[in-house]
A and B are shown apart, each in its own frame.
Chain A
């Protein structure tokens, strides 16, 4: 298959990283845990992308009412609706949250990992178990596998919940139904692959929870534009958007709390 040939360098890279993490490499983790560690590494590399995405998602949420209006206005004409929304983004300087590249970037990793697991670089006698229940080179339909698939489906639901905060209702329902629809396919994958997918979902959930804690949604301030405004502008900004005044008059005790929140960003 052509796709497999294109992915050979990535497959080799993943195999090398896995071997480095694995029981015969420098780190010396058991195989199953080295897959988890590999997932974490992939997601760490993607963190700058996700942070940027979360910022724009919050920006979108602030404009949600106007966007709902546009959606209502062009309810019957989906194409027109989409074009009007794009226009709205442009006029209001919104950067739409979702983009194809970060999602697609994970796709080759997934396929390469599938290929790596197909010819797994283990030696006879290696420990391939995870938590004593699952063998990573087994199919997920065997033994305790279905339990893992169920956990995977739950993690997928949870991560969809966080990633679809700005989506329409019908889309959200779709996103919540899909993990269940996917089960018959996923149950034929190797346990190691499901381990990867589950870890990445849990990472998404964790990221969602952390960002909710660090950046309260309703008060997300405008970025950059208000960092060092002239004094009058700053005071005006305080009047309209309380959280946008990280630099304004630290002597006033009433604003100390808000200042903290702004400074953390």
Chain B
């Protein structure tokens, strides 16, 4: 049952891994946040499932723009869903 509920998240996790092993390789270590956006996405998907995890990861990606400051930002410290 638990695995069935978690299943959609695996789709997201797969997509993130696909990114990491393709274009992500070209941009290794070039995220201004810690952990990197892809690691954040993996954490968020594992902790919150596909829908909420994707929203969190999308929001993080939008924050990871040239105008933001970056910094330490863990998925479990998020304040969007409480």
Kindly provide the distance from the CB of B73 to the nearest chain A CB, expressed in whole angstroms.
9
State which of A2, A101, A175 has its C-beta within 8 Å of the C-beta of B64.
Answer: A101
> How far, in angstroms, from A174 to B71 measured CA to CA in the complex?
24
Q: Is A227 an interface residue (CB 8 A)?
A: no
State which of B11, B37, B72 has its C-beta within 8 Å of the C-beta of A100.
Answer: B37
Q: Is A89 an interface residue (CB 8 A)?
A: yes
Query: Assuming the A-B contacts A82-B34, A171-B28, are A100 and B64 also in contact, with contact meaning beta carbons closer than 8 angstroms in the complex?
Result: yes
Provide the residues of chain A in CB contact with B78, threshold 8 Å. none
> How far, in angstroms, from A83 to B71 measured CA to CA in the complex?
8
Please provide the chain A residues from 29 to 70 with a CB less than 8 Å away from any CB of chain B in the complex. 49, 52-53, 56
Q: Mark A104-130, 1 if CB is under 8 A from B, else 0.
A: 100100100000000000000000000
Kindly provide the distance from the CB of B39 to the nearest chain A CB, expressed in whole angstroms.
11
Query: Assuming the A-B contacts A83-B72, A86-B71, A89-B70, are A100 and B28 also in contact, with contact meaning beta carbons closer than 8 angstroms in the complex?
Result: no
Please provide the chain B residues from 39 to 82 with a CB less than 8 Å away from any CB of chain A in the complex. 61-62, 64-72
State which of B23, B25, B29, B31 has its C-beta within 8 Å of the C-beta of A99.
Answer: B31
Q: Is B32 an interface residue (CB 8 A)?
A: yes
Among the interface residues A53, A82, A90, which one has the most CB atoms of the partner chain B within 10 A? A82
Query: Assuming the A-B contacts A82-B34, A83-B72, are A101 and B65 also in contact, with contact meaning beta carbons closer than 8 angstroms in the complex?
Result: yes
Q: Is A168 an interface residue (CB 8 A)?
A: yes
Provide the residues of chain A in CB contact with B23, threshold 8 Å. 103, 107, 110
Provide the residues of chain A in CB contact with B38, threshold 8 Å. 100
Kindly provide the distance from the CB of B50 to the nearest chain A CB, expressed in whole angstroms.
11
Kindly provide the distance from the CB of B41 to the nearest chain A CB, expressed in whole angstroms.
10
State which of A87, A96, A110, A175 has its C-beta within 8 Å of the C-beta of B32.
Answer: A96
**Do the beta carbons of B69 and A89 come within 8 Å of each other?**
yes
> How far, in angstroms, from A138 to B68 measured CA to CA in the complex?
42
State which of A2, A98, A107, A178 has its C-beta within 8 Å of the C-beta of B30.
Answer: A98
**Do the beta carbons of B72 and A99 come within 8 Å of each other?**
no
> How far, in angstroms, from A235 to B65 measured CA to CA in the complex?
35
> How far, in angstroms, from A49 to B72 measured CA to CA in the complex?
22
Provide the residues of chain A in CB contact with B28, threshold 8 Å. 171, 174-175
> How far, in angstroms, from A157 to B28 measured CA to CA in the complex?
15
Q: Is A95 an interface residue (CB 8 A)?
A: yes
Q: Mark B14-35, 1 if CB is under 8 A from A, else 0.
A: 0100010001011111111110
Question: Can you give 10 contacting A-B residue pairs, CB < 8 Å?
Answer: A83-B34, A83-B72, A99-B30, A100-B27, A100-B36, A100-B37, A102-B65, A103-B23, A110-B23, A171-B28
